[in-house]
Amino acid sequence: MNSEEIRIILAELKAGTLKIEDAEADILALLRRAPFEDLGFARVDHHRVVRQGLPEVIFGSGKTPEQIAAIAESLVAHNTTLLVTRATRNDFLAVQQVVPDAEFHETARAITKPGKTTIRGKGVIGMPQLELLIFQLQKKLESPPKFLEMMSILFMTSG
């Protein structure tokens, strides 16, 4: 369950394209989805975005490619953004089997699924994190001048 799903239901209700009974059923179905899914080796938090504003992120280090793929598949099935950090090419190959449109960012050691991915953090940024940040900024900004402006602001405020 995420705020976008709730907004869609409310918008349809307001527009008159959804009956109150159907809206109630849809909202109850969203609430019934377990907030946590136990995969045996990991508990996937599907309601993290509701509680904290950011979706679950998979920390790949210490997990097998198969475990990462299973967690990724679970997140994507619940319409959650996919971000795997500390990933290897083998991890990506396993994820790609269950999330065919996943992308691997080798220097950043990250796997993402095209869509709404937000990078937030604080502290020192190394090259892998910087490449991932640049990738995300390029996706969000339409024009090169705006991208260069944002990068100059980033470097001026981080020094």
Q: Are residues 27 and 39 in the same domain?
A: no
Q: Are residues 93 and 46 in the same domain?
A: yes
pLDDT at 115: 58
- Do the Cβ atoms of 74 and 37 come closer than 8 Å? yes
Q: Are residues 133 and 113 in the same domain?
A: no
Q: Are residues 129 and 67 in the same domain?
A: no
Q: Are residues 39 and 28 in the same domain?
A: no
pLDDT at 27: 81
Closest by alpha carbon to 43, among 56, 62, 30?
Answer: 56
Closest by alpha carbon to 113, among 139, 142, 131?
Answer: 139
Q: Across-strand partners of 38?
A: 43
Residue 46 CA to residue 75 CA, distance in Å, equals 7
pLDDT at 156: 42
Q: Are residues 99 and 113 in the same domain?
A: yes
Closest by alpha carbon to 137, among 124, 123, 148?
Answer: 148
Q: Are residues 46 and 112 in the same domain?
A: yes
Query: Which of 28-42, 89-103, 125-139 comes out lowest in average pLDDT?
Result: 125-139
Q: Are residues 135 and 113 in the same domain?
A: no
Q: Are residues 134 and 101 in the same domain?
A: no
What is the domain range of residue 19?
1-32
- Write the pLDDT tens digit of every residue in 114-157: 654 444 444 544 556 656 666 666 555 555 555 555 554 444 44
- Do the Cβ atoms of 72 and 49 come closer than 8 Å? no
Residue 82 CA to residue 55 CA, distance in Å, equals 8
Q: pTM for this one?
A: 0.58
**Over residues 55-65, mean pLDDT:** 90
- Do the Cβ atoms of 67 and 91 come closer than 8 Å? no
pLDDT at 159: 36
The CA–CA distances, whole Å, from 25 to 17, 111, 115 equal: 15, 35, 27
Residue 89 CA to residue 94 CA, distance in Å, equals 9
Q: Are residues 99 and 77 in the same domain?
A: yes
pLDDT at 70: 95
Q: Are residues 50 and 17 in the same domain?
A: no
Q: Are residues 23 and 75 in the same domain?
A: no
Count of domains for the chain: 3
- Number of other residues whose CB lies within 10 A of the CB of residue 130: 15
HEC string for 42-65 = CEEECCHHHHHCCCCCEECCCCCH
Does residue 4 carry a pLDDT above 50? yes
